[in-house]
Amino acid sequence: MPALLKKSFAEFVGVAVFLTSITASTGTLKTIAIALTIGIMIILTRPVSGGHLNPATSLYFYSKRQITLGNLLAFIGAQLAGALAGVALGAVISGGTISGFSSTSGNLPTSYVVGEVLATAGMIWLIATLVNHKLDNWLPFAVSAWVVAAGTFTKTGAQANPAVTFGIMFNGMAANQGASLVVAEVAGVLVAVVLLMIFTPAKKKPAARKK
């Protein structure tokens, strides 16, 4: 199997399982189940694709030139397809049906949009900080922890992932509302980049050798 296809398939499977958990989980432990699922999927897919499982994460790594444009497009396509597959599988497991786009088309309250900006910015800032400090092994646990934490103080449950929003759009969310959240998530990536520029220590230049 070609390397890019293998990586894309890993992203597809990881996002599909994640969305299955989001769609099928119920009860008081739903947030914990979702957080554990994304952590486990990162562990399983990281050796193959890097375990992005999120277009926002892929966009960040593309902005840092750590993946190519071809990889970015392939990953995002796989992530979105995985989101649809996960919503469908989750509906089967839970005994429900995919409700499709909501007929409600009103604008989302500002609190929802701001929450997604914050949740996404925090996620990307966390991931980038761990990667920059070569603490990659902490990624699954850190991302899971952020999902639980941010999920408690945002009205959206801290989707922080355009693929998640895309999947939910096909299961009861109005298209314009989903688009607003995606824009907020992309804005969150930009906020994270600015924060990283401010707080990442500048690399010291090597001392000039004496002749």
Residues 105-120 have pLDDT tens digits of: 678 889 999 999 999 9
Q: Which of 187, 142, 139, 120 is nearest to 42 (CA)?
A: 139
Q: Is the pLDDT of residue 45 over 80?
A: yes
The span from the CA of 84 to the CA of 162, in Å, is 12
The span from the CA of 59 to the CA of 47, in Å, is 19
% of the chain surpassing 70 pLDDT: 92
Provide, for the chain, the percentages of residues in helix, strand and coil under a 3-state DSSP scheme, each rounded to the nearest 5. Answer: 70, 0, 25
Tell me which DSSP letter residue 137 carries. G
Residues 136-164 have pLDDT tens digits of: 999 999 999 999 999 999 998 899 999 99
Report the phi/psi class of residue 25: left, alpha or beta, with left for phi > 0 and alpha for psi in -120 to 50: beta
Q: Which of 16, 44, 33, 10 is nearest to 139 (CA)?
A: 44
Per-residue confidence (pLDDT) for residue 73, from 0 to 100: 97
Q: Which domains does the chain have, with CATH numbers?
A: 3-199 (1.20.1080.10)
Residue type, 128: A
**What's the rounded mean pLDDT across residues 91-104?**
77
Q: Is the pLDDT of residue 98 over 80?
A: no
**What's the rounded mean pLDDT across residues 46-68?**
96
Per-residue confidence (pLDDT) for residue 211, from 0 to 100: 52
Which residue, chain included where needed, has tokens 């941010």? Answer: 150
49, containing H or E segment = helix 30-49
The span from the CA of 94 to the CA of 179, in Å, is 26
109 φ, ψ to 5°? -60, 150
Per-residue confidence (pLDDT) for residue 202, from 0 to 100: 65
Residues 161-173 have pLDDT tens digits of: 999 999 998 877 8
